[in-house]
Structure 1
Amino acid sequence: MSELQRVALIIPARYGSSRLPGKPLADLLGKPMVQWVYEKAQQVPSASTVVVATDDQRIVDAVHAFGGNVVLTSPDHPSGTDRLVEVMEQVKADIYINLQGDEPLVRPDDVEQLAQGMLADNNVDVGTLYHAIDDEEAQNPNVVKVVLGQKGNALYFSRSPIPYPREVNKHPGFKKHVGVYAYRKRILEQYASLPPSALEQTEQLEQLRLLSAGLRISAFEVKPTGPGVDTPECLEKVRDILAGKPHLPVSPLAKIKLVITDVDGVLTDGGIYYDATGECLKRFHVRDGLGMRLLEESGIRVAVLSGRDSATLRKRVDDLGITLHAFGVKDKEAACLELMAKAGVTSEQTACIGDDSIDLPAFVACGQSYAVADAPNYVKQQATGVLTLGGGQGAFRELADAILVAHGKSDVFNSAAGFHSVSSGAAQ
């Protein structure tokens, strides 16, 4: 490799993580996670040097313990790229590859493909990776999608499913962006002076700053990648994969101890009817009612939350024996927090279900959020999951059954003996 084409692999490893504090030092089969990534990076043929960039002395000590190179950087960097700019002052190279410190399953061949793509074309400003995904995964806002031009250059990155499938038979398929970046030195030298763009701030994706500045990002296709580590559940999955053991995933619904549901558009079809006296009438689905009681009888609380208040609504809630409720609510986020306090549960133990923009504050408050099938797309994109049934058509029951399955209590709805065990308190 020419001296003019030195490739440095930089592994940003931040100690602080809201979902998994100390993540780089998490134990994976007797080694800290950052060591797994470091050793994979050392297997990349084009790499002239491998360096961990961290903001914490504990990670520095851990890297020194396994004989790795490490640089202690400022704790104030808003992104991995900003940390990379500081490292560039100490680590001399022509191409810098940012390799995430929470990707212990990274394939050296993929990183080498990225390096070779940069080495082959000096006109490429930034390089990255992608692979195809199915339609279901594309709906997840935590999965970043990329759209490419004919020459493999990125046109746009988004948390939304892009391109929009107006005609399914003409759709090119969705592509997932893999967050490994390669930068030329001259680009990193410019990065700090590039102003954050409106697109970057809207999507919370730093690569949009580069596109907005007119820089060229070339994307190279790889096979579907293994999972990264973002949560304790991800850590367990990766641990099993590295050990060669079958992974039996634990559903996040297994944590749920409280379900907060909207009324209009969720427990009803959203229609509002008035009788001759002016009384407001609503159409509820009986299966939803039974689902609410099955949860309650199984030790999982149910709360009803509505921006409206009426005698009809109160009668339905009373008939079902639901004692946690809030009617005529203006601030659904605050109301959810109050209901959690009454139930004695945390946000992570709470799921909510909604159908429209008015429910988005509840999505913020609750650890998990679900949109009914007929909710607008912009609501679905903010939810943890999307149900297959619409409001007033059994959507709540669909979620209730999934929660009972995750708790190992599916017998209460799929067997006579199980149902008899709770039938004294069941009602529709």
Structure 2
Amino acid sequence: MKVVAFIPVRGGSKSIPLKNIKLFCGKPLVCWSIEALENCELVDEIIVATDSDKIENIVLMQAYKKTKIYRRSAENACDTASSESVMLEYINYAQLSDSSIFMLVQATSPLTETCHFTEALSQYNGGKYDSMLSCVRNYRFYWNVDGTSKNYDYMNRPRRQDFQGELMENGAFYINTVRHIREVGNRLNGKIGIYEMPEYTATEIDEPDDWIVLENLMRKHVLSKTETLRKPIKLFLSDVDGTLTDGGMYYSENGDELKKFNTRDGMAFQLLREAGIKTGIITSEDCLLNRSRAKKLKVDYLYQGKKAGGKLSVVKKICEDMGITLQDVAYIGDDVNCIELLSWVGLAACPSDACDKVKALPGIEVMSRKGGDACVREFVEKIL
């Protein structure tokens, strides 16, 4: 059976404007859900249903393999439209077969990982349930407005470890068949199964405070795992203008061109050498200043005058000579001519003042420092 993951994302969010593509831990919010689904072998197709050109452009820029854009109607993109309305709109448009599995995924739950989708779909495929939803176990005590306790006996208050808690819908995803959704017009029906997710996934992003809370939870529970599993870097590369420098062009009265470099970035290259990591500079501009700086830094590779596509081809050749892959390479750059290379290397980073298209790349690490302000040193310290 075909499995379709469906992510409805409107451009008209009121509480957080364009929240679905606002950077969350350095990546557009919707990209976290898309990438978790892209890595799920049980998902055949991912549909991002949007009414926004900006959201469409951000998603298409990532060159995902299983993801497609569906332009939802204005009627089903207004504040009062339900998720069911746009689900049914797409199901009828795509003429999906009744036997297809349809999974509604909410972009506002970015802590949902590939393992959660895989486990839930495997559970659903067991055939015990007509539909399923994700929940977390909540250990709060609830009261009714008339002053009576709802889920515990206050005269015999249980300890947390003895309290089973209650299952709370966390809104991460819902699974059903196309046939059931057509028949009842709802994401759930019949015998409903529960996929229990970790307690830290309870919050959905709706208000600005949710953003702050979830970014910290993401770093603690999700990103910390990827950092632990990351392969050692064997080659470190950097751009120059806007990365090793502040991007400014300075001229003396005699017309001499000057650039401002940061000594802390210089120490970063020394630390890399001491760690046995090869280093290099790849830049679009060809000038004597860059050669002088590269010589002082004692880099192993210097390539100048390399435009966007040229940068990637050069690095591929370096990797071939070193007997490594692009996944063994770390690169930091700041502008559109760096995007192709940033998209291919194993570890990508950019200064905090990089262009928006660079900062929107999936998986990129956005430094807290600007270009020329020791952002390269910050990146190197993360690596080491």
Q: TM-score, normalising length from structure 2?
A: 0.48
Where relative contact order (Cα < 8 A, 6+ residues apart) is larger, the structure is 2
Q: TM-score, normalising length from structure 1?
A: 0.44
